[in-house]
């Protein structure tokens, strides 16, 4: 039987990298919910009910009635950002929420002034903020971030901290076995200031884990998706989760692809395109940053509709004639700001190979979908730490576009939304002292 989670002791500090649209929407929403002025719609930890027990003992309970989740009233926020604007100014600038939904918590938001960010302009060329740490090396960056975490704990009196990356997508860093496979090699590269292989996000993750804080990667960066970080998470007995919040189009894909697969229909091609105008869209307009996102978005479909398993249905469509054609595009379009639009054109075929099409047009709001994911990931990572779970938290795949997995052992990630949901429910059951009694078929 897995370990039951210990009760939360004292307050939970949530330190967020990036104080932009997503994080200010998240923070404001939590504060408004605490005051009874808003509802945390979209949050599994606040609304979802899970069955525990069987037969006569069967009950459907909210997560907080199964496991000891941290209370929203016990959360304290801090953030790092390249821009010096406080959370109130930043929330207004983001133009996601209306003023009437920000003003009631203005005083609390003003108090959240971003700490100087550990930043390298080469990793996000479109950002030009000057609220930046003066760090001689990557190791120096790590030390300064660790000091920030310690200071925040001391000044705010929080008992535990979770660090969440809600900043922009960095330039793609390919996994380099000489640097990223062993912890000692990673530390050596940080000390030698290897700026090619060590992204600033890796400094945040390393610092968080060393300070006993779970780390969540909300962008597609390779940050904690490397064996050296897995080793550190084992050493520090801390949970890590990533990567990339599953908000709009990929959520649709991970939920809709199972319909095609379950119904045994064929797929010739799936073309996905997005328009987005916020800071994330601006950063992703840079090809090297888009590459990071593309890798994450492309990986979803291939593990749900597998050509090797059903060659008749998924084994053709592109030039090599081995698989359906899958293309993903993101276009920066400022007039839309945070209101993202995702189009999916799906070419399927049915009985005797006759073609059909499905079109999905999702007019979503990026930060409105991401904010509840931030809350769930933070609360569940904190819970996992108290249950003694460390390393990659596969049960959090439900919330993530490109779930971490051990690629060195050829592990295939679970991308199928309903299978991910079973993993999530089983983990909650275990951490509540119940039996993990659902199969993933």
How do residues 320-366 score in pLDDT, each as one tens digit?
567 899 998 989 899 988 888 999 999 999 999 999 999 999 999 99
Laid out side by side, the sheet with 239-242 consists of 115-116, 75-81, 12-17, 160-165, 215-217, 239-242, 391-392
Within-domain flag for 110: yes
What is the rounded distance in angstroms from the CA atom of residue 127 to the CA atom of residue 89?
Answer: 18
Closest to 15 (Cα-Cα) out of 239, 170, 246, 215: 215
Peptide bond into 86 cis (omega under 30): no
Residues 210 and 292 in one domain: no
* Backbone angles phi and psi of 421, in degrees to 5: -65, -35
Residue 302: the pLDDT is: 87
Residues 21 and 69 in one domain: yes
Question: Is the Cβ–Cβ distance between 25 and 368 less than 8 Å?
Answer: yes
Within-domain flag for 329: yes
Residue found under tokens 């009437």: 100
Q: Is 263 exposed, middle or buried (0-12, 13-18, 19+ CB in 10 A)?
A: exposed
Within-domain flag for 437: no
Give the number of other Cβ atoms within 10 Å of residue 184's Cβ. 9
Residue 300: the pLDDT is: 82
Last residue of a domain, one of 325, 344, 365: 365
Last residue of a domain, one of 310, 333, 365: 365
Give the number of other Cβ atoms within 10 Å of residue 341's Cβ. 18
Give the number of other Cβ atoms within 10 Å of residue 377's Cβ. 26
pTM for this prediction: 0.94
User: Which residue numbers in the chain have pLDDT < 70?
Assistant: 1-2, 296-297, 317-321
Q: What are the angstrom distances between the C-alpha of 387 and each of 291, 419, 433?
A: 36, 22, 10
Residue 92: the pLDDT is: 97
Within-domain flag for 161: yes
Neighbouring-strand partners of residue 78: 15
Last residue of a domain, one of 350, 365, 380: 365
Residues 393 and 283 in one domain: no
Residue 143: the pLDDT is: 98
* Backbone angles phi and psi of 173, in degrees to 5: -110, 105
Residues 21 and 58 in one domain: yes
Within-domain flag for 4: no
Residue found under tokens 């605490």: 34
Q: Is 308 exposed, middle or buried (0-12, 13-18, 19+ CB in 10 A)?
A: exposed
Residue 216: the pLDDT is: 98
Residues 40 and 124 in one domain: yes
Residues 61 and 166 in one domain: yes
Within-domain flag for 3: no
Residues 399 and 314 in one domain: no
Residues 182 and 314 in one domain: no
Within-domain flag for 300: yes
Neighbouring-strand partners of residue 365: 339
Are β-strands 266-276 and 339-349 bridged in parallel, bridged antiparallel, or unpaired?
antiparallel
Domain count across the chain? 2
Residue 7: the pLDDT is: 95
Tokens of 403: 């779930």
Full domain range(s) for residue 356: 249-365
CATH of the domain at 238: 3.40.50.720
Residues 86 and 163 in one domain: yes
Residues 228 and 86 in one domain: yes
Within-domain flag for 5: no
Residues 112 and 206 in one domain: yes
CATH of the domain at 339: 3.30.360.10
Residues 226 and 277 in one domain: no
Chain centroid to CA 3: 25
Question: Is the Cβ–Cβ distance between 279 and 337 less than 8 Å?
Answer: no
């Amino acid at each position: 039987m897995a370990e039951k989670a210990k009760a939360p002791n004292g307050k939970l500090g949530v330190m967020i990298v990036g104080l932009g649209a997503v994080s200010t929407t998240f923070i404001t929403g939590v504060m408004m919910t605490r005051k009874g002025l808003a509802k945390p719609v979209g949050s599994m930890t606040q609304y979802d009910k899970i069955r525990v027990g069987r037969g006569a003992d069967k009950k459907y309970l909210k997560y907080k009635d199964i496991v000891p989740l941290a209370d929203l009233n016990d959360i304290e926020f801090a953030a790092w950002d390249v821009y010096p604007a406080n959370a109130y100014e930043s929330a207004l600038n983001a133009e996601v929420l209306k003023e009437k939904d920000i003003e009631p918590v203005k005083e609390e938001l003003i108090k959240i002034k971003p700490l100087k960010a550990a930043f390298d302009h080469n990793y996000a060329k479109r950002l030009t903020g000057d609220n930046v740490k003066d760090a001689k090396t990557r190791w120096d960056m790590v030390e300064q971030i660790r000091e920030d975490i310690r200071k925040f704990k001391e000044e705010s009196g929080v008992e535990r901290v979770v660090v969440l990356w809600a900043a922009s997508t960095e330039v793609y860093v390919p996994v380099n076995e000489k640097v990223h496979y062993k912890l000692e090699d990673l530390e050596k590269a940080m000390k030698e200031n290897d700026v090619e292989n060590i992204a600033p996000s890796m400094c945040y993750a390393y610092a968080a884990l060393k300070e006993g804080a779970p780390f969540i990667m909300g962008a597609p960066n390779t940050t904690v998706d490397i064996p050296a970080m897995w080793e550190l998470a084992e050493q520090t007995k801390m949970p890590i989760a990533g990567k990339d919040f599953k908000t709009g189009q990929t959520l649709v894909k991970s939920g809709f692809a199972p319909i095609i697969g379950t119904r045994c229909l064929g797929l010739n091609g799936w073309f996905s395109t997005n328009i987005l105008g916020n800071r994330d869209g601006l950063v992703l307009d840079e090809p090297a940053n888009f590459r990071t996102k593309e890798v994450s978005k492309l990986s979803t479909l291939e593990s749900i509709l597998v050509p090797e398993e059903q060659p008749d249905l998924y084994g053709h469509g592109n030039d090599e004639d081995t698989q359906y054609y899958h293309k993903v595009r993101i276009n920066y379009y400022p007039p839309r700001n945070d209101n993202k639009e995702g189009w999916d054109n799906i070419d399927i075929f049915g009985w005797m190979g006759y073609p059909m099409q499905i079109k999905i047009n999702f007019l979503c709001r990026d930060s409105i979908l991401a904010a509840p994911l931030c809350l769930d990931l933070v609360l569940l990572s904190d819970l996992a730490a108290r249950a003694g779970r460390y390393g990659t938290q596969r049960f959090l795949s439900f919330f993530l576009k490109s779930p971490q997995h051990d690629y060195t052992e050829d592990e295939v990630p679970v991308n199928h939304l309903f299978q991910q949901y079973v993993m999530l429910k089983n983990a909650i059951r275990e951490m509540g002292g119940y039996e993990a009694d659902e199969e993933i078929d």
